[in-house]
Every structure is written in C-alpha cells, then in structure tokens.
Structure 1
Amino acid sequence: MEQAAVKQIADLAVAAQANLPVQVNGAASIAILPEGFKLHSTERFNDGRDRYRGAYQTSSISSFVEYVGYRNGSNDENVQTYIETTRGLKARTFLNLGDVFTPGHGDDTATLTLEKKAEFARFEGINGNRIRQQQLIDIVDDWADFLSAHTEQGEVELDKAIRALRKVKITKGSELDSQVRDFGHQVSALEKLEATGVDENLPHFFLLHTECYHGLNPRSVKLSLRISANNDDAPGFVLRIVGEEALNESLADEFKGILTEKLAGQGRIFQGEFTP
C-alpha cells in the first residue's frame, strides 16, 4: 500500500475517533481537523462573530475621543490608553485588554496618529540643510501666509525681505580673516568667500506661525537664517529650527495634556507603548 494512502487512512481514523467537529470552547467556534492536527476557526461560517473586535484608526483627536467614549459606554476602568511621543504623536487605546486576573485578547483597539501641518512639515524637511537662493525665495513666497520676517531691529515686510534675499551675492576676497561671522566663511589663509549685497531688510530669522500638528494650539516657531557660502557662484542659505528639542518636548506635553483631559473617566492612561 502506498504511503499516501496509509496516511489518509490514519487521518480518517483519528477524525472518526474525535467525532469531529469538536467544540473546544463553547464561546469560540473551534474544531479539530485532520490536516496536520491544527486548530481552524469556523467563525467566518457563522451568522455572527464570536465577539466584537476591530482596529479603528484616525488622525483626528475629536473623532478618537468620540469613538473611545462610544465603545466604552460603561466606563470600564480596564480600558487602557498608551501615549507614545518619541516617533511622532500617537495614542492607542485597548478596549478589551482586561486585567491581570481576567485578561482579554487585546485585539479591539483605537489608534490616533496626529498628522503634521503642511507648513510645519515643509520647513522641518529643510531644517539645517543648505538650499539655493532661488529655492529659499520660492519657499518663502509659497508659505508667506504662515511666515513673518525679522531683523535685529524688528519685523520687516515679507516682500522687502524677499527682495533683500535676491540681492545677496557671493564674492571672493584675498585678505586674511580668521573671524567667524554670520555672513562670511573663510576658505583658506589667502582666499575667502564673502556675502555681499546684504541690506538692512535681510532677515536674521523667520517666525513660522503654525499648529505644527493638526489639533494642537497655534504657536510661533523660530527659524534662524544663515548664509552658506561655498565655491558656487550663487549663495546658499540654511534655515534652522531654533530649540528643536524643546519644541518637540512642548508638543508632546500638549498632546498628553489634551488626551488626559478629554479621556478623563475612560480608563487608565499611560506614557509609552504596549504590545499585548
């Protein structure tokens, strides 16, 4: 007799002995089948599911809070929300995690992932990078509704600031200069590159007026401006977010504060990530 036939007879014998299907758990549709003696869920063949679960996702704080409140109508104290702020601003609520004495499956969740505002994402993307003169002018023009330009004397009109940016040129000199200046960069003891055409309206910094993330409060983010001279004829510029670490910490604290307030009475809130 062939080996395949022997195996088939053995499987049928086991199946007959087991009196399939076997209901292992009255609350779950599980049956033992002869194929490798694995467990197979037959839930999809039932009129309804064995239990409710799902994975809700949104980028809206209000929708997230509304959904958690709707699903946790009984104000179950075992509902747990974990706020994670090291890689963006996110929160995840487990609606059926249970507790250490009566643990749940932890597969019924609501996830909130805040999205960055377009203007903040644009300037964060060029933070600390050298960009060409025309590119900076285009960026300032594109996002003018969110920017204000400032010198040491105060705010200047944005169109005047753009004209001042256009005037900047790079020239080569031969005098010895060992000083570090905002608008100059020494190449060697005999040759240096110098920015010229700098007038009184050239901004020392910009303020980006933005919420940073959808749902947070508006704030002003300071962007310092530095001329970057190299061997190219055209000048370059560097925009840098001033106090970036402090800004991120402030955004994280605000996010945590909003959720703590809006989810009051909806279970426990923790800082960090949790994997069931």
Structure 2
Amino acid sequence: MSLTKEALQHIEASHKTGTEAAEGHALIVGDNFKMVDMEKYQDHRRRFRGQFRTKGLKDFITYVSGQQADAPVFIDRDAMAACSYLDIGDKSLPGHCDHSATLNLPKTPEFSAYLDADGSTLDQEEMVELVEDWGHLLEFENSKGEPLERGKVIHAFRKVSLDDLTSIESDKQEHSSRVGVMNSVTVKNAERLPTVIYWKLTTYEGLSERTLAMRVSSKTKGGPSFGLRAIALDAAKEEIAAEFAKLVTDGLPESECLLGTFQP
C-alpha cells in the first residue's frame, strides 16, 4: 500500500509531537521542535532550588548551616557580603548553582552619619544639629586633650564668633620705605570647641561596637564653619572587614570559607 505525500507529512508531524527528551522530563512538540519542560505538571520539583537573600548575619549562618550542603562560602570583604551556592557540586559532578544564599550586611544609621560627615564642611547650625542628633554617641576633646561636656559644646558652637585683627608694620629707611598690612581672622574662645570628636558606634549590624575618631577644624572664610575629617578611617575599615570575615568563618565551621566572589 502506497501512502500519499500528505499522509507521510501527517505521520512525520505526529511522530515529532510528544517525543520525550531529557529522560522524560521534557517533550519535543510542534513542527519547530519546541522543548516543553514537564516539571510544572508533576507533583514535585526535580530538585530543590531558590535564592535566599538576607541582611542578617545570624540568619545567613542559620540558613547555610541548616542545608547540610558541602558548599563553599565566598566572602566579599569590600562589599561586606557573603554568598554560597548550595548546589554547586564539584568538578566531577557540577551542580546547577540555582540554590543560593546571599548576605549583604547593611551599615547602621550612625555609621552612615559618620561617613557622611567625613570630609564635609558644616556651618554653625549644621554643626549644632549634628551634635544634637548623635550626641548620645559622641565624646569631645579640646586641643589640650581635655574632655568637654556635650551641653557646653553645643553652646560653644552656637556662640562662636570671629575676631578680625588688622595690623600695620612700617619700616622707613633713608632711601626706602616699606609698609605691610597683615590681616588675621581667629575664632574667639577656641578652647571651648572640640578638636576631636569620638563616635562610639556599631558600624554594621551584628558587628561589635567600636570608637572612631574625627578631627574638627575651624574655618573662617565667609563666616565661621567647621571641617570634619575621619582619623585613620582606612585602617578602621580593614579591621571591620576582618571582623566580618571572621564572624562568617566562625559561624560556619563545617563550610569552606574563601575570600572573594564567585560567578557561576
């Protein structure tokens, strides 16, 4: 029995439609050989997958340790972040890396305020507001190393004023003469103002409390204002990053913790 061209095309199309692939997990359908994943039609997923994201150090450690997965943890000290691909597998049997846990440790509001103040110049009103807002964290020291009370510091910033002194120096000789004018602007009662402010704070959630110093300088151009500069901030950041890495490593003793990032 011979078959017509139309019959042969119908048989070919019927054969292509519904052909199993990927060990029965998918079907090839249609003339364009479209692959259809059958997982959503099954009672369960083929494997567990998902992305856990958190800002909590303890929550990250709890989740990763609870998976009982032999997966490395990658610690990014610069970003204060950590990540683990819990189904990464190994070189002989690599996983899909679609089950992950990610930690992004947030700065505390007080540390953000410290960083915002670093390198800034504040006028009297702004300086008073800074001390009033964060005064419960601050300690003050004058140029002699003596401690200053917060209330007196606020009063000193409010009452600060400038002395504008002009002096004329005259030097007359037989064949020449020289007249010099010197202008000096100084801050009145400067000893009442702090030269160093100490911030006692927690930099990131879950880390220990530390004290960060900030230099205060008076500026006289255009009216009284104050320049703020963090002292040894780079060294402090290194210590903070080291503490973060240690907390993750100590919290996950069964995991291999590596410094760096990994892109699957």
**Number of residue pairs aligned between Structure 1 and Structure 2:** 245
1:158 to 150, 158, 166: 150
The alpha carbon displacement at 1:70 in A equals 1.1
1:160-180: per-residue Cα shift (whole Å, max 9, x none)? 11112123234555559xxxx
Structure 2: segments with no counterpart, 5+ residues: 1-8, 169-179
Residue 42 (structure 1) aligned with residue 38 (structure 2): yes
In structure 2, the residue matched to 1:180 is none
In structure 2, the residue matched to 1:255 is 244
Residue 246 (structure 1) aligned with residue 242 (structure 2): no
Structure 1: segments with no counterpart, 5+ residues: 1-9, 177-188
CA distance 1:16–1:200, change in 2 (3 Å): same
Secondary structure of 1:22's match? strand
For the pair shown, the structure with the greater C-alpha radius of gyration is 2
CA contact (8 A) 2:160 2:188 kept: yes
Runs of at least 4 residues off by over 6 Å: none
C-alpha RMSD of matched pairs (Å): 2.5
Residue 114 (structure 1) aligned with residue 112 (structure 2): no
CA contact (8 A) 1:57 1:110 kept: yes
Which stretch shifts more, 57-66 or 165-174?
Answer: 165-174
CA contact (8 A) 2:141 2:196 kept: yes
In structure 2, the residue matched to 1:4 is none
In structure 2, the residue matched to 1:218 is 209
One-letter amino acid matched to 1:49: R
In structure 2, the residue matched to 1:31 is 27
CA distance 1:14–1:271, change in 2 (3 Å): farther
2:259 to 268, 271, 276: 271
- Map 1:164-183 onto structure 2 (within 5 A): 164-170=156-162, 172-174=164-166
The alpha carbon displacement at 1:244 in A equals 1.1
CA distance 1:52–1:191, change in 2 (3 Å): farther
1:80 to 56, 72, 77: 72
- 2-structure distance, mates of 1:31, 1:86: 46
Sequence identity (%): 27
Residue 18 (structure 1) aligned with residue 16 (structure 2): yes
One-letter amino acid matched to 2:257: I
One-letter amino acid matched to 1:158: R
CA distance 1:245–1:190, change in 2 (3 Å): farther
The alpha carbon displacement at 1:190 in A equals 6.3
1:51 to 14, 22, 47: 47
- Map 1:136-147 onto structure 2 (within 5 A): 136-147=127-138
- Structure with the bigger percentage of strand: 2
- 2-structure distance, mates of 1:227, 1:33: 77
1:100-119: per-residue Cα shift (whole Å, max 9, x none)? 11100111111111111111
CA contact (8 A) 1:168 1:198 kept: yes
CA distance 1:24–1:155, change in 2 (3 Å): same
1:12-69: per-residue Cα shift (whole Å, max 9, x none)? 876423241423234xx32323375443433233322221011111111111111111
The alpha carbon displacement at 1:80 in A equals 1.1
- 2-structure distance, mates of 1:70, 1:156: 50
One-letter amino acid matched to 1:253: A
